[in-house]
Amino acid sequence: MQPPQTRYAKSGDVHIAYQVVGDGPLDLVFVPGFISHLDLGWEEPGIAHTYRRLASFSRLILFDKRGTGLSDRSVGLPTLEERMDDVRAVMDAVGSERAALFGISEGGPMSLLFAATYPERTAALVLWDSWANILQAPDYPWGTSPERLEAMAAYLEPRWGTGAGWSAWMPSLSQNEQARQWWGKLQRSAATPADAIALVTTYATIDARPVLPTISVPTLILHRTGDKMVAVEHGRYLAANIPGATFIELPGSDHIPMRDQDPGLDEVEEFLTGVRPQPEPDRMLATVMFTDIVDSTTHAAQLGDRRWREVLERHDAVVRRELDRHRGREVKTTGDGFLATFDGPARAIRCAGSIRDALRSDGVEIRAGLHTGEIEVMGEDVGGIAVHIAARVAAMAGGGETLVSSTVKDLVVGSGIEFEDRGAHELRGVPGEWRLFAVTSA
């Protein structure tokens, strides 16, 4: 999905970039955390999925806070009051009299203050892995120590723009180099190193605890139990001190709603609309590719655990690099292989060939199977008969071979890709006979 058009609202002398997506009956303002960039958010599949889910039942209003992303940058260190003014300016620009606020992480304290100050303009409040005060205090022992906050700033400053800190923000994707590179790009695009460090140090000045008892709007608080950036005790404190707040603990340790976020988003939709969403998988045409390492069990036994782990790390890095080059989407790993989808069969074939050639020099032989058909997209996973067919085709491929269904072959006519007919086969669990072809030149 292409990013919606970016427009600008004037908040005093500062231009605030915003986007609007969806046409639901409820206005929902998404208040980002530490850093954001409207266009780059749509480049990350998990973030884009979160936006689409929220926009499916609301008119979703996205914006970059002053000093970050596409909004005016040279504005000094913003106060919570100035950021509240920015939200009001964006709401006025889009004609929103009253909206629910969805505050992520550091976007939470400003959302708390807005809800308490402007209850007539706040329909509801949702907080995700957020906090009212980040620092430790005698009555707030789960907060972060000033020394740790300073150490975080000292660590990030010389590494800003390289994807630093990714494993802390998103532990489940700590080994995903493509996601880490996106994070580095976001860092470079959203703020300068000096501005980023200044934002980190201002965390110590924020304390919204006194306003919690004054919040009168319906409030939902969601927090991952294993969040290492913002401990779950912060969420529990918010719930205990906001009158009538609903608190839901979610499993996992990721700080950003980029993976496995649907259970939490289901809760958000039910809270804001009163209706529990019924999952309906999206269906789309795609080329499905399965790869795996030939004789992986034998190799693992010969090499030993440590050397085999190094081989797998090299294998995973190569596959992800080639997926990125050929516009493939990693769905998941299968231990010694990958499941990926593509929007074009020719790119999928060439990607499989590039992976094979790159790994062959390391003495690693892979095989690949491809099929094009309609798939079901269920969050980050995929399913449907087309996925099963691709898996069966891959199982019949030989070492170093890319085997495809006749559907794939027919769709790349004129591309210059050449094939060798491997005859008709029965695929286990799939009705009928399927003609398969081996790629001989791509």
State the pTM of this model: 0.67
Q: Across 132-146, 207-221, 266-280, which has the greatest mean pLDDT?
A: 207-221
Answer whether 96's CB lies under 8 Å from 63's CB. Answer: no
Share of the chain above pLDDT 70, in %: 99
Given this model, what pLDDT does residue 418 score? 96
- Split at pLDDT 50, 70, 90, the class of 273 is very high
User: Which domains are delineated in the chain?
Assistant: 7-273 (3.40.50.1820), 282-441 (3.30.70.1230)
For the cut 80, the answer to whether the pLDDT of residue 45 exceeds it is yes
- Residue 335 region by backbone torsions, left for phi larger than 0, else alpha for psi between -120 and 50, else beta: left
Q: Which amino acid is at 5?
A: Q
Q: Which of 139, 135, 140, 137 is nearest to 152 (CA)?
A: 135
Given this model, what pLDDT does residue 280 score? 60
- Split at pLDDT 50, 70, 90, the class of 283 is confident
More confident site: 103 or 276: 103
Given this model, what pLDDT does residue 187 score? 96
Q: What is the average pLDDT across 262-284?
A: 86
Neighbours of 87 (CB within 10 A): 28
Given this model, what pLDDT does residue 132 score? 95
Given this model, what pLDDT does residue 281 score? 60
Given this model, what pLDDT does residue 326 score? 94
Q: At what angle are helices 177-190 and 305-325 packed, to 10 degrees?
A: 50
Q: Which of 74, 54, 73 is nearest to 4 (CA)?
A: 54
Tokens of 436: 């398969």
Given this model, what pLDDT does residue 335 score? 82
Given this model, what pLDDT does residue 379 score? 77
Q: What is the average pLDDT across 332-341?
A: 92
Q: What is the average pLDDT across 11-15?
A: 95
pLDDT tens-digit series, residues 164-181: 999 999 999 998 998 999
- Split at pLDDT 50, 70, 90, the class of 279 is low
Q: Which amino acid is at 123?
A: A
The two beta strands, 433-441 and 381-383, are: unpaired
- CA–CA gap between residue 428 and residue 433 (Å, rounded): 10
pLDDT tens-digit series, residues 101-144: 999 999 999 999 999 999 999 999 999 999 999 999 999 999 99
Q: What is the average pLDDT across 320-334?
A: 93
pLDDT tens-digit series, residues 62-93: 999 999 999 999 888 888 899 999 999 999 99
Tokens of 38: 């409207």
Residue 205 φ then ψ, to 5°: -95, -5
Tokens of 422: 């491997």
Neighbours of 421 (CB within 10 A): 11
For the cut 80, the answer to whether the pLDDT of residue 25 exceeds it is yes
Q: Which of 440, 433, 414, 424 is nearest to 349 (CA)?
A: 440
